[in-house]
Amino acid sequence: MKKPYVFVTRTLPKKAIGQLQQLVELKMWPKEDVAVPRDILLEEARKCDALLTMLSDKIDSTIIDNAPNLKVVANLAVGFDNIDVEYATEKNIAVCNTPDVLTDTTADLTFGLLMATSRRLIEAADLVREGKWKSWSPLLLAGQDIHHKTIGIVGMGKIGETVAKRATGFEMDILYHNRSRNSEAENQLGAKYCSFDDLIETADFIVCLTPLTTETRNLFNAATFKKMKRSAIFINASRGPVVDEKALYNALVTGEIAGAGLDVFEVEPINADHPLLTLKNVVALPHIGSSSTETRITMMRLCCDNIEAVLTNNIPQTIVNKEWKQSGVN
């Protein structure tokens, strides 16, 4: 009997895919840090029973219509805005993601980005590395304190809640805005729910962790930055398109806000001549929120487990489109 065919859009380590590889015919795009070209993805989709994809792989109606045997798309991310989930559901294709397993790791990175931006750690490290540290001085690369300040979290899901937990160690006041109230964060962490406008006007650190939706696209725009404190630090570890990058650049250049820490961008990867990269008060990272070895391996294995479940007529652990039904599911 012919084995199911699975295409993986990046090269993944054998220890992450070994079990799945025994059950299927598996092919990987032979590069770890270069996206699979669209034409090759289309060609592979024609043969696929399953796709293991990255957030940068666009799985739209064209790909789906080109994949008559496709049963499951397992996305190596919590987010799934790169996939046309509604159309996949129409075609009876399961869409899976990797929630929960990366919560702590992403929260660590988010808070680390906040610290690096507010305390100017990258600037300081570069000063030493470039041989420009000539003497000690009272206000050498003086940044902003974090302790006893107010953090405002936009998007109080599991990652937001975990960032709030880290903020309690710095004795910060915690504000949050979300589509719905998070009673656990309020009761356990002392977080206070407020309107979006109140949050951006009050918080010293505004941390964006909201998913990308029609409503959140360009949520942080020129009007938003104008309402922030001039001393505010803006952190984005969610999705790039929730921010109007031109407005952010202008806000930083004109001093409307003090700094920004960014792990995500409107178009990724960004070019070295991107305007935001010219600013010393910007800390820019290459979308590494969940990138610890332990967490990424766990994410890869969860993707493989989800694929195996669907291909063996079982329910996957983390399915996005709950409406999906597969005949013969155990």
Active site residues: 239, 268, 287
In the chain, DSSP finds a helix count (H) and a strand count (E) of 12, 12
Q: How far is CA 144 from the centre of its chain?
A: 26
CB neighbours of residue 46 within 10 Å: 13
259: exposed, middle or buried (Cβ count in 10 Å: 0-12, 13-18, 19+): buried
- What is the Cα–Cα distance from 217 to 233, expressed in whole angstroms? 20
Q: Return the closest-CA partner of residue 110 out of 174, 246, 206.
A: 206
Copy the structure tokens of residue 247: 């407005």
DSSP assignment letter at 83: B
- What is the Cα–Cα distance from 146 to 128, expressed in whole angstroms? 23
Q: If you search the block for the tokens 């729910």, which residue do you land on?
A: 193
- What is the Cα–Cα distance from 44 to 298, expressed in whole angstroms? 25
- What is the Cα–Cα distance from 105 to 256, expressed in whole angstroms? 31
CA dihedral 165, 226, 213, 187 (to 10 degrees): 30
How far lies 162's CA from each of 111, 155, 203, 249, in Å? 10, 11, 18, 29
Copy the structure tokens of residue 38: 């669209």
Evaluate whether 304 touches 311 at the Cβ level (below 8 Å).
Answer: no
Report strand pairing: 25-28 vs 173-177: unpaired
- What is the Cα–Cα distance from 175 to 94, expressed in whole angstroms? 36
- What is the Cα–Cα distance from 201 to 177, expressed in whole angstroms? 12
* 51: helix, strand or coil: strand
